[in-house]
């Protein structure tokens, strides 16, 4: 295993809040591209363990190298944060931001790259002058053990904003510049003209797969071999389509049933992040995924009985596992 300590400065320096698989992937690719980022770990003990390890053992194309990426924790922050890539789990976002809020500049650029919906609005409320963007990626990355990261598959990353501040002179150009600044080879970030539609489709697919992987305690692909799970998937999707129509978000969702099955096949060997959280006794993202869906439905006066049942069951399992 080679040891690399590339630290050539970049004109675009991003702080990365969340040192999990996706945050680590962006940091590692930046380091290999000769760009500087800073990983923000949760606390001093996590930072100390990272430094003791000497960096992240990053594997791509069957080659592994140890990347010593600049890192800190909230208590050790010194420099102001102007550009922040947020890759924490949805349920951890506000707590993590609160820990560093004194260092985040009022007009910072903040990009949320995570599962679930409903968090961006809360972040914008806490940082009203910031430019808050959302992103979605299909890049594959996982951590086989602490401080080890595998880039398992290439994907697409899209970025955009539901509403751009009126004080931006050329919003299209700024979004393009931000996307370019986060495109550390081989990662490529492109601007989406309708990020809401992208994130809504992703939420729908997550609602159809992740909770059921917990209920049936199985890999994604194994759901396809369980008649009960297949019936539940169909019902979940039907309910989502009904809500989408009420919200006028049903454009380009005609193939949602088929796409859910295709994603389950394409990720057949994956254990969903929600199932991994359950197995590790961690809090899940269920509130930002199925919970968000059910809250939207309630506001529309709609009932989503299958989704609500899955939400209640995952809540019960999660509470039981963490007690």
215-253 pLDDT, tens digit each: 999 999 999 999 999 999 999 999 999 999 999 999 878
Domain finish residue from 192, 222, 251: 192
Residue 10: its pLDDT value, please?
39
Show the DSSP H helices in the chain as ranges.
Answer: 21-32, 44-53, 93-100, 119-126, 171-181, 195-215, 227-246, 256-266, 273-279, 290-299, 305-322
List pLDDT tens digits, range 162-181. Answer: 777 666 778 889 999 999 99
Look at the block and give the residue holding tokens 């002179």: 169
317 and 205, same structural domain?
A: yes
Domain finish residue from 139, 170, 192: 192
Tokens found for residue 180: 């370019």
293 and 207, same structural domain?
A: yes
List pLDDT tens digits, range 272-292. Answer: 989 989 998 989 999 999 999
List pLDDT tens digits, range 10-61. Answer: 355 899 999 999 999 999 999 999 999 999 999 999 999 999 999 999 999 9
d(CA 159, CA 114): 12
**C-alpha distances in angstroms, 264 versus 15, 209, 224, 268?**
33, 7, 8, 6
- Annotation says 202 is catalytic: yes
Helix (H, G, I), strand (E, B) or coil at 61: coil
167 and 295, same structural domain?
A: no
Q: What is the mean pLDDT of residues 116-135?
A: 94
Domain finish residue from 172, 192, 212: 192
Tell me how many domains the chain contains: 2
The reported pTM is 0.90
d(CA 255, CA 67): 41
Any idea what the CATH number is for the domain that residue 226 is in?
1.10.1040.10
* β-pair partners for 140: 153
254 and 134, same structural domain?
A: no
179 and 243, same structural domain?
A: no
150 and 184, same structural domain?
A: yes
User: What domain range is 277 assigned to?
Assistant: 197-322
162 and 36, same structural domain?
A: yes
Show the DSSP H helices in 158-215 as ranges.
Answer: 171-181, 195-215
Look at the block and give the residue holding tokens 């492109």: 190
Catalytic residue among 169, 202, 245, 299: 202
154 and 30, same structural domain?
A: yes
d(CA 124, CA 265): 36
């Amino acid at each position: 295993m080679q040891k690399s300590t590339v630290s050539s400065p970049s004109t675009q320096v991003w702080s990365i809040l969340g040192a999990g698989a996706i945050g680590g992937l962006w940091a590692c690719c930046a380091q290999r591209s000769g760009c500087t980022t800073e990983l923000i770990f949760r606390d001093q003990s996590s930072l100390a363990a990272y430094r003791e390890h000497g960096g992240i053992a990053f594997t791509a194309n069957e080659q592994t190298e140890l990347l010593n990426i600049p890192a800190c924790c909230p208590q050790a922050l010194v420099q102001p944060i102007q550009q922040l890539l947020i890759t924490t789990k949805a349920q951890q976002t506000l707590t993590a931001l609160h820990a560093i809020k004194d260092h985040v500049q009022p007009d910072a650029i903040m990009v949320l790259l995570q599962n679930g919906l409903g968090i961006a609005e809360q972040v914008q409320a806490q940082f009203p002058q910031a430019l808050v963007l959302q992103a979605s990626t299909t890049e594959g990355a996982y951590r086989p053990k602490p401080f080890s990261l595998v880039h398992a598959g290439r994907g697409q990353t899209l970025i955009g904003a539901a509403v751009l501040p009126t004080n931006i002179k050329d919003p299209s150009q700024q979004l393009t510049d931000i996307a370019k600044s986060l495109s550390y080879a081989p990662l490529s970030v492109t601007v989406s003209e309708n990020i809401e539609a992208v994130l809504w489709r992703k939420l729908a697919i997550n609602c159809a797969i992740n909770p059921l992987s917990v209920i049936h305690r199985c890999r994604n692909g194994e759901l396809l071999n369980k008649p009960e799970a297949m019936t539940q998937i169909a019902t979940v999707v039907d309910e989502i389509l009904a809500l989408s129509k009420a919200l006028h978000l049903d454009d380009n969702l005609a193939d949602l049933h088929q796409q859910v099955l295709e994603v389950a096949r394409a990720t057949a060997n994956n254990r969903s992040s929600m199932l991994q959280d359950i197995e590790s006794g961690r809090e899940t993202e269920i509130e930002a995924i199925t919970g968000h869906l059910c809250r939207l439905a309630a506001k529309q006066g709609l009932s989503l009985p299958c989704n609500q049942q899955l939400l209640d069951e995952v809540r019960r399992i999660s509470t039981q596992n963490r007690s």
